[in-house]
Chain A
């Protein structure tokens, strides 16, 4: 079945540091890949997505590239802010009629001023 493995946290950075959160996946067919973000006390929000190999998703300064050869979708941001402190989830949706989302365990990011 489908599975997502993402970097264990927590991750603590200083403001303006570079962020990478690793995500790898196992899936049959051609999945779509997502990063969701959960701010404290809130539900999840879609941060970015990529639906085919070599696609780059981007939003709010965050980027992730769908790498089929390494089955990866790592999240990056060049300069984090305190307001980026949240839990980040990598997720995939299988191709075709397999439309259910499979989530990774989440990575807590704390950015200090």
Chain B
């Protein structure tokens, strides 16, 4: 099992550009989520999904879109990047929404100039 994989590892964007952060898991997990990690802020939930075709907003959803067309993939889209979106982004998955253990990917470090 590869676990949770994220691409790219690093990305630099200019303000206004769009991009998609990829996340995939091969553990047949139903629950997937995206967090951003900022210094002194811990991890904050952006969007989450309890299964294919179902997504919902977390704590800080503005400026981000998600979709979940398959169980394996949960891409995060930035439609018009802003410097405030400079952060490290983590994708996580768990067997079910209420499962105790979440498995995290290695992260994507995004810089918006």
A residues whose Cβ falls under 8 Å from a Cβ of B: 4, 32, 34, 41-46, 49, 51, 89, 93, 99-101, 103-106
A43→B103 CA distance, assembly (Å): 9
Please judge, given known A-B contacts A43-B90, A99-B97, A100-B45, whether A105 and B104 are in contact too, CB under 8 Å: no
Q: Within the complex, which residue of A32, A46, A51, A89 is in contact with B43, where a contact is CB–CB below 8 Å?
A: A89
Contact at B40–A105, with CB atoms within 8 Å?
A: yes
Count the B residues whose beta carbon is within 8 Å of the partner chain — how many? 23
Instruction: Tell me whether B100 and A44 are in contact (CB under 8 A).
Output: no
Secondary structure call for the A interface:
strand
Q: A49's contact among B42, B58, B100, B106, by CB below 8 Å, is which?
A: B100
Chain A positions within 8 Å of B4 at CB level: 43
B102 CB–A CB distance under 8 Å: yes
Contacts of B90 in A (CB 8 A): 43-44
List B94-113 residues whose CB lies under 8 Å from chain A. 97-98, 100-102, 104-107
The reply to whether A99 and B98 form a contact with Cβ atoms under 8 Å apart is yes
Bound CA span A93–B41, Å: 18
Least CB separation from B43: chain A residue: A103
Closest chain-B Cβ to A94's Cβ sits at a distance in Å of 10
B102 x A46 contact (CB < 8 A): yes
Interface string of B27-50 (1 = CB under 8 A from A): 000010101000011111100100
Residues of B within 8 A of A4 (CB): 42
Give residues 7-24 of B contacting A (CB, 8 Å).
none
Per-position 1/0 for B68-106, Cβ under 8 A of A: 000000000000000000000010100001101110111
A104 to B41, CA, bound (A): 8
Residue in chain B with minimal CB distance to A98: B98
Verify A51–B42 contact, CB threshold 8 A: no
